[in-house]
Structure 1
Amino acid sequence: MKGQDAVNDLLSRTKAIVETIVDGVITISDRGLIETVNPAVEKIFGYRLDELSGQNVSMLMPNPYQREHDSYLSNYLSTGEKKIIGIGREVTGRRKDGSTFPLELAISEMEVNGQRMFTGIVRDISLRKATEEKLRELLTRTKAILDTIVDGVITISDRGCIETVNPAAEKIFGYRLDELSGKNVSMLMPDPYRHEHDQYLKNYLHTGEKKIIGIGREVTGLRKDGTTFPLELAISEMEVNGQRMFTGIVRDISERKETEEKLREAMRRVHEQRIKDEFIATVSHELRTPLTSIKASLELIIGKAVAKGSDQEKMLITIAHKNSDRLLLLINDILDISKIESEKMKLNFRRVRLHSFLETAISDNQAYAEKHHVKFVLIDCPGNLHIYVDPDRLMQVMSNLMSNAAKFSHQNSQIEIEARRRDDGIRITVRDYGPGIPLDFQNRVFEKFTQADTSDKREMSGTGLGLHISKAIIERHHGELSFDTVVGKGTEFHVDLKQQLQRQGSPQ
């Protein structure tokens, strides 16, 4: 009885195990017919035992596994060659409702009462496959991120050796992964950072004191070609499979540093320009006020000297008067240059009749004509033509062009002023028949403090700023100041103004 009880107990335990395990257990005859299944099989496939008993086990598989299984079993029984027996593999199962799912299958052979049978252990691995797919997707996304981010990512062992780098790190330093793998990461740093890094890592591993771990800082990187560059470095610690490792995030900040330097330079220039403007304004005021008084006093003295003084006194007073004029002109020009460079020159636009404007220009500059024994002539200008300009600033340009033409013209010659319509606007021309502009000076005509050399012994006084200022004024009108010259025959200066400005108003 005791022996029978032991057997019954073993059978009960075995039955309990088979009926409660999560894996399906199927017993199959040597003809491939299902004999028994445990509850897990019924749950996995959705069939009851009475629906499965006596049926070919291939009913639980879709094609091509269904056909393959029959041929495998037939081949084994005929040849003894094991292709699936004793081997676990992944196949696809088919439920009663026709849906398929991933299945892990292991078939083993047994003998019961002299009859060969097979046991199939099946496990629904849908959840595992879904998890594996999500993991693959996560790995793919992570790899895509690492492969495409602009920051370099370097993984480092606890001995400071490089294990992996992303494409950005290869691009930043100019090395391939195979050239970096297994090398000390300090190879990417010049001294003294190389020596410091080794010391930092050793100190951290021995004391746990963090000097660079978890802290972003700026260092200098070393490329494969030996060049150095500013680098932003952040090192963090991680644990992979129980092994301590470090991740270095590196960013080439060359462009940022260059931008910061340009910004500092721009701010320095703004500061210097402000100081210069204040200095020029103060000095100009302090100079112009007494010079104006001196000039007025000299004019009074000249009037009296003409009647009473000697020729020597008249000459000295006249020289003093001319030089005071030159100083006032220089001060005014310097103030204009300062306004132009700091973009503080304001223009007051209004509608002006061009013919009347040019007649006024000739009248206002008549003194230059008489002084240099030349004649200003308006040879052409449509009487009904109007322009939209700042008349005071445009008159300043005309005075400069006309005075230059007078100074460099032959005595008793004629200086021609004309205005003509052009396809895109108006052109005002001042034409002289003087010596022309020397070839080696032509590319410097509009530069500051430049004057052409001349063999003419007459006084060619000036500041060398007039044409530079005139060009800036015309450009503020969205126009252009240019010239044509022939050495030995004369020069034409052209003021081109856009027609649209005459209709639409002031430039912004």
Structure 2
Amino acid sequence: MSSKPFTKRTAATFFLGTAISGSWYTATSAIFAGQMGEVIPVVGAIILAGLTPFAAPALQANPQSPADNSDMEQRLKAFDSHAIVNIVDTGGMLEQVNDRFIELTGYTRDQLIGQPVSMLYQEEFRELAEEIRATLMAGKTWQGETPLRCADGRVIQTQCTVMPLFDKKGAWAGSISARTDVTHANELLAERDTAETLYELRDDIWIVDAETERFSYMNRVAMSRTGWSKDSYRTQTLETLTEESDNPALLDACRALKKSGKAMTQFDTQLFGNHFQVTIKLLPTGGAAGRFLIMLHDISDIINEERMKSEFISMVSHELRSPLTSIKGSMGLLLSRAAGELPSKARALLEISHRNADRLVLIINDILDLEKIANGRLEFNLEEVDIAELLHETSAANASLEQRHGVRIQVEGTEDLNKVTTDPNRVIQVLTNFLSNAAKFSKPGERVTIRAEENDDELRISVADRGPGIPASEQHKVFQRFADLSNSNRADKGGTGLGLSVCKAIVENLGGKIGFDSREGFGTTFYFTLPKKNSQVAAEEPAALLREAS
């Protein structure tokens, strides 16, 4: 018996019998009445779609046996309840969908029939849709994973088999698609992959119930670190960890995060003999409390490298400063004619050497200050300070800048200023750096202005120049160490590239803020603030302040 083409009518009857004829028995009777050859392609499609258990018995069914037909009716009903089926014409318009399609996607038949099948796909799927269409036009079956957009906007993933349909003359007449929903299976695979990735991470990963503070998950590194097994860590709590590590930082941070309502906190601490950067996130769950996701990144090597680098820099700087001080002092004596009058050419060369020795001393002092700040060893001596008097003293102490660069330093806004508690020497250090920069980048005859302003909470001190300004593209570099701005021309102007980063760290340690306003071609104003309440020197995480400054 020759095989007839698999027609659109047969496909509709087979797959959509309940929708069209109202009975799978009617459907099977129509197909198996002498048309066994037409069923084979359909069963092939079902096998490709992973639906063999529902339809394979069709190959063995006796079309003349009522008992077999009854069994087939039950199996095809089961198939109809699981498979997502639709028929599309050659123009890409939906012609039929089964009940399962309606149930899963949330559309009504009126919303689908006569509409382009492209409404079910996202834009990025259009290229694949063209590939499927080309396969069908060639008379071949296509199989793969496709997305399906639901009425509420959800996108589900389906394993899909698409077969071409033909009319009675054997011409291509459209296609029939049979799908199974694999969204949940894909999600499970993704969750498994995520869990495996977390388990193998080099960072410690802990998950803790926010209500009971009991551990619910630890990855391999975390279990190795604590010595707890999969069976034992679930009986442990954050309090147990605190007792064993003698460090309440994690417990305190989790409780504070829960109380604050924030989503995340981050800090550095020491646990199990190592230094860690700790990140804690509060993850919402179905319950009210949620879960803490705790990530520990071991920074012991970084801390040790920074310590070794700081020790080396400190050693070298101290070794340089002693002979340099002696050299600078000797040159000062020569310039003061302690050894007699110098020839004019020799004196000019000696003055150049003396100025460069001054620059080297500044560089070494800046490096030592940075090293002290990084290690929390920069000393601050707080006292009640008359800011107006301090500003005038600083201006007078920098009179040499006026002579060297031909500028005028002017102090404004010092009337009726309240006293503040701060470190006067550190404030003078910051101001001197601001004044030095302002004088260097001002034209001869220009004015450099020191101004003080205050409100209820803080005192603001600024130094303004009328120099070339800082280009917007360069402004992010200003407080970086060794910053070299394109318009600064350090070879001519001098400067260490360290001073402003030191100033930033000093001001922040004094509880203030530092910044600047600049417009290219119109000058720059650097400023810092000091709290008017009793200043508390910031002792926490000095290295973090320095990292921000760099």
**TM-score scaled to structure 1, two decimals?**
0.49
